[in-house]
A and B are shown apart, each in its own frame.
Chain A
Amino acid sequence: MNPLFNGGRPIEILLVEDNVEEAGMTLDALREGRVRNRVHWVEDGEDALAFLCRHGRHSAAPRPDLILLDLRLPRMSGQEVLAEIKENPGWRRIPVVIMTSSDDEKDIRSAYDKHANCYVTKPMDVDKFMEAVRSIEDFWLTIVRLPAA
Chain B
Amino acid sequence: MPHSNPDRGVEILLVEDSSDDAALMVAALNEGELRLHVTVVEDGEEAICYLRRQGAYAASRRPDLILLDLHLPRKNGHEVLAEVKADDDLKCIPVVIMTSSDNDRAINAAYDLHANCCVCKPANQDEFRAVVWKIERFWLSFVQRPRGA
Contacts and interface: CB of A to CB of B under 8 A. Distances in A.
Contacts of A119: 143-145
Contacts of B142: 120, 132, 135
Interface string A89-104: 1001111000000010
B41 to A, nearest CB: 22
Interface string B132-149: 001100110011111101
Interface in A110-149: 112-113, 115, 117-121, 132, 135, 138-140, 143-145, 147-148
Nearest to B147: A105
In this complex, the interface size class of chain B, counting residues with CB under 8 Å from chain A, is 20 to 34
A140 B134 CA distance: 11
A120 B142 CA distance: 7
A55 interface: no
Given A109-B92, A109-B146, A143-B135, A118 B108 contact: no
B117 A117 contact: yes
Given A112-B92, A139-B138, A148-B108, A95 B117 contact: yes
Contacts, number: 79
A133 B145 CA distance: 17
B91 A1 contact: no
Q: Is the interface of A mostly helix, strand, loop or mixed?
A: mixed
Contacts of B119: 143-145
A112 B139 CA distance: 13
Interface of A: 1, 86, 89, 92-95, 103, 105, 108-109, 112-113, 115, 117-121, 132, 135, 138-140, 143-145, 147-148
24 contacts: A1-B122, A1-B127, A1-B131, A86-B114, A92-B112, A108-B146, A108-B147, A109-B147, A112-B94, A112-B149, A113-B88, A115-B91, A117-B116, A118-B116, A119-B143, A119-B144, A119-B145, A120-B143, A139-B138, A143-B119, A144-B117, A145-B102, A147-B108, A148-B104
